[in-house]
Structure 1
């Protein structure tokens, strides 16, 4: 007989990881495009950059909402512990994303007016702060949270450490790389050429961050180190750094040879491998290094009820997302507009 109390949290963990991964992929490149405004100063080319994401960007954050709902409904113990640990970066991230969304719309409405520059700056700064906070939160979770009797027992700035700051800048660099390779795929002419140049530099920066985080993470806690160095674990985790190096070679080669879609797919592969590496390190902890998935999960009956609803809604969300990206596929030029 299936032990639901054991397997349901595992199923929900897979759903949560999938939601986070899809969010990182979809919202990552449009946050990256916002940050790339810092190196692209031509108003017309900035318009093209925004037009590549205009039809789909506001649906990308659906996956963040799904992830938050899963945490609240299925892993309430983790939600109650992690939320007070990361109040400041979460609130800052949400404010940045809200202001970024407002700036996105108002920049179009004030085109040619004095306020356009203000909203352009808002879109750029909101994207950068949102990306940094996401990385800092991830780093804070990986480095661990102080827990006493199942409740957060630390201070409001415990998350702000050199490791979390490194993770924040790594995510900023990674999102910018996703944005640059997305624009290589979706734009033409001078903008595409510039994006190839930016992507090569960002790829170098990201690989440096990946190496730094990969060396630092196992040193944070003994279980992390054992997961990456002991036999037979080593047999299963060794392919991850090898694949990172292989994809890096393909990414650089694709940029040099003029490939359009390949560099973006390689950048996505890097993100999936990084997320896999983090998952390998912290599994099965929901709140490292103290609380496991089973310690923080809701009753099996509650999980099963929510699983039925998710089984209905998830295919609808996936269908809508795939359809919207398919409809608005293809290269975008200055002749195309967003209204």
Structure 2
């Protein structure tokens, strides 16, 4: 395994950790409209209050790694997806500000609720838009973006945008099931299965449309031995769905969140396998897009130190604030 492959794995890990950790943060805002009670909303936000800002560290790690090691990808993706990424960042700002101000507001609390809902749903949607546009491929000429500034807007990118909203909503709902109890938890349980069914539908649609909209991915799936290696994935997805249904019926607490993580992991692995070894689909491989080996080695030396620290404090944060969250807990967000 060469240093370029190691860096591709680190960036892939960072993006996956961001999707999982900040995904359920955003998911809480997405399902907010289904729970209008102010006290319940306070409790829902308190479940992520100690950890939500730390979760975004993984987005910074992935972006910084991309800039340092794959600068061509960074500049090309930023040029091609400038608008959806700016919209995403604006939504994340609204979400973050509403998180801070909502706890102190009285008369305007409902407005900050709307900002939290809109910021969460918007950030998820535009992340999905960016993913769909990336999967479609980015036209390049002489190492530069050569496409339309609105080329990211397509039926496929809208599909992936909505799919990621549903994904985050399921993660958020399952996280809350694990962190709450009583009547709120019972009503959250009722939301889990419809969200799971919706996510399965989006997985099926995206899996169908991905090879249809890119013949190179279709060839990779069906004209090589990859098809047989990917064959277990649909069965694993079906198994996750079966156990999710059973966990909801049994009113289990932690199992739905673990199974939701399993569904996200299976989808993510499918995407990585479909794209590899391209850094920009059908344009540049990871080796063609990589910075000089000396730059990769230098930045890897720092990452070897920083990455364990990030993993350690993330783990510690979740360990310290483990267990159920109840009204009146000392770690409530104020």
Scaled to the shorter chain, the TM-score interval is over 0.9
Secondary structure at 1:286's aligned position in 2?
A: strand
Answering whether residue 171 of structure 2 is matched by residue 178 of structure 1, we say yes
The gaps in structure 1 that reach 5 residues or longer are: 1-5
1:259 to 249, 252, 267: 252
Stretches of 4+ moved more than 3 A in 1?
A: none
Q: Cα distance, 1:118 vs. partner?
A: 0.9
Q: TM-score of the superposition, structure 2-length normalised? A: 0.98
CA deviation map 1:81-128 (0-9, x unaligned) = 111000001011011101110000100011xx2111111111110000
Answering whether residue 57 of structure 2 is matched by residue 62 of structure 1, we say yes
The gaps in structure 2 that reach 5 residues or longer are: none
Aligned partners of 1:10, 1:240: CA distance in 2, in Å?
A: 24
1:305 to 289, 298, 316: 298
Q: Cα distance, 1:333 vs. partner?
A: 1.5
Report matched runs for 1:198-209 at 5 Å.
198-209=191-202
1:131 to 114, 124, 143: 124
Report if the CA contact (8 A) 1:77-1:295 is conserved. no
Answering whether residue 92 of structure 2 is matched by residue 97 of structure 1, we say yes
Report if the CA contact (8 A) 1:59-1:321 is conserved. yes
Q: TM-score of the superposition, structure 1-length normalised? A: 0.96
CA deviation map 1:281-318 (0-9, x unaligned) = 11111111211111111000000000000000000000
1:88 to 83, 87, 95: 83
Instruction: State the partner residue of 1:284.
Output: 277
Q: Cα distance, 1:152 vs. partner?
A: 0.4
Q: Greater shift after overlay, 318-327 or 273-282?
A: 273-282
Report if the CA contact (8 A) 1:218-1:281 is conserved. no
Instruction: State the partner residue of 1:3.
Output: none
Aligned partners of 1:262, 1:80: CA distance in 2, in Å?
A: 41
Q: Cα distance, 1:8 vs. partner?
A: 1.6
Aligned partners of 2:136, 2:256: CA distance in 1, in Å?
A: 31
Instruction: State the partner residue of 1:11.
Output: 6
Answering whether residue 191 of structure 2 is matched by residue 212 of structure 1, we say no
Aligned partners of 2:276, 2:168: CA distance in 1, in Å?
A: 25
Instruction: State the partner residue of 1:244.
Output: 237
Aligned partners of 1:256, 1:86: CA distance in 2, in Å?
A: 42
Aligned partners of 1:33, 1:310: CA distance in 2, in Å?
A: 31
Aligned-pair RMSD on alpha carbons? 1.0
Change (3 A) 1:298 1:231: closer
